[in-house]
Amino acid sequence: MSQSNPLPLIARAPVIPVVVIERLEDAVPLARALVEGGLPLIEVTLRTPVALRAMSVIAAEVEGAIVGAGTVTDRSQIEAVVEAGATYIVTPGTTPALAQALAEAPVPVLPGCATASEAMALDALGFKVLKFFPAEPSGGAPFLKGLAGPLPALRFCPTGGIGPSNAPDYLALPNVVAVGGSWVVPGDAIKAGNFDKVRELSAAAAKLPRAAKFD
């Protein structure tokens, strides 16, 4: 397995913004607002036609931004996102074929899981930091708390249904490295060009305490 450990990267901030970029011209000011607010990891999801180009311009033009690719579901996307400048990869779930491809990826990866069996299967393949998705519908913070006993070596980045009201519940768990969320990048603010709002929400999110230790 050639994958590198994603833990030092994911530990950089308590929240990873999950971003859907509809207009390429929003990419740079949005990323700058996030970085200035204290959230340097930016997961650009592959849900729009401009996603790859958005990663490229953020990587090239926004100092301090750590660009990742989200919604990676197929082996063929791995090379494309790395070429676009992604420094980490996030998947919503992980098929056996995708897991094999991720094991060979040249950047850190966060493979997705939603059950104990899926987490165990990824653990057996050497993946120790996993995305838990969709977090709230799949059991939420109580589920991850329950996994800490039987699967103590695993760390998680839960995403899906997480906002400012419940993010602290997840970050209070010792097996949660960070949470992913879109509440810091509200679509109406982006559409209106209100990046001050993004900066304000990011600054609040960056101050959230977490129980996990990384040494």
- Edge-to-edge strand order for the sheet containing 155-158? 112-113, 129-132, 155-158
Strand-pairing partners, residue 158, are 132
Catalytic-labelled residue, pool 43, 83, 145, 207: 43
Assigned token pair, 44: 């650009």
Is 200 one of the catalytic residues? no
- Dist. CA 118–CA 173, nearest whole Å: 20
DSSP state for residue 87 in the 8-state scheme: S
Closest CA to 154 of 185, 118, 191: 118
Catalytic-labelled residue, pool 61, 131, 136, 200: 131
- Phi-psi region at 140: left, alpha or beta (left = phi > 0; alpha = psi -120 to 50): left
Is 43 one of the catalytic residues? yes
- Dist. CA 132–CA 139, nearest whole Å: 10
Asked if 106 and 129 touch (Cβ cutoff 8 Å), the reply is no
Buried b (16+ CB within 10 A) or exposed e, 156-179: bbbbbebeeebbebbbebebbbbb
Paired sense of beta strands 179-181 and 15-19, if any: parallel
User: What residues are annotated to the active site?
Assistant: 43, 131
